[in-house]
Amino acid sequence: MTLLRYLSRVFFLRFLAVLMALSALVELLEMLDAMRKLVGRSSSLSNVLIFSVLRFPLALEQLFLLAVLIGATLVFRKLAQGNEMIVLRSSGMSPYRLLTCLAPITLLLSLSYFALVDRIAPASERAFAEWWHAVTTVPDDDVQIAKNTIWLRWRGEIVSIGATEDGSRTLRRLARYARDKDGRLVERIRAASARSEHGVWRLRDVEIVRISGSGYSSRRMDETGWLDGPTAENIEQVALPTQRQQSAASRKILAGEQSGIAGAAHYRTLIQKSYCAPLLPFLMLLLAIPALSGSGRRASARGVSLSISLGLLFPVTNGFLSSMSEVDILPAAVAVWTAPLVFGMFAAFLLLSYEE
* Domain spans in the chain, listed from the N-terminal domain onward: 2-138+263-355, 150-239
82/97: higher pLDDT: 97
pLDDT at 143 over 50: no
Over residues 32-80, the pLDDT tens digits come to 777 766 665 555 677 788 888 999 999 999 999 999 999 999 988 888 7
Over residues 232-252, the pLDDT tens digits come to 888 877 777 677 888 888 888
Portion of the chain with pLDDT greater than 70, in percent: 87
Region of poorest pLDDT, from 50-54, 283-287, 296-300: 296-300
CB atoms within 10 A of CB 47: 19
The sheet carrying 157-165 orders its strands as 150-154, 157-165, 170-179, 185-197, 200-212, 215-226
- pLDDT level of residue 117 (50, 70, 90 thresholds): very high
The answer to whether the CB of 189 falls within 8 A of the CB of 207 is yes
Over residues 255-280, the pLDDT tens digits come to 877 887 777 888 899 999 999 999 99
Region of poorest pLDDT, from 173-182, 253-262, 296-305, 331-340: 296-305
Separation of alpha carbons 234 and 218, rounded Å: 30
The answer to whether the CB of 273 falls within 8 A of the CB of 336 is yes
pLDDT at position 56 is: 92
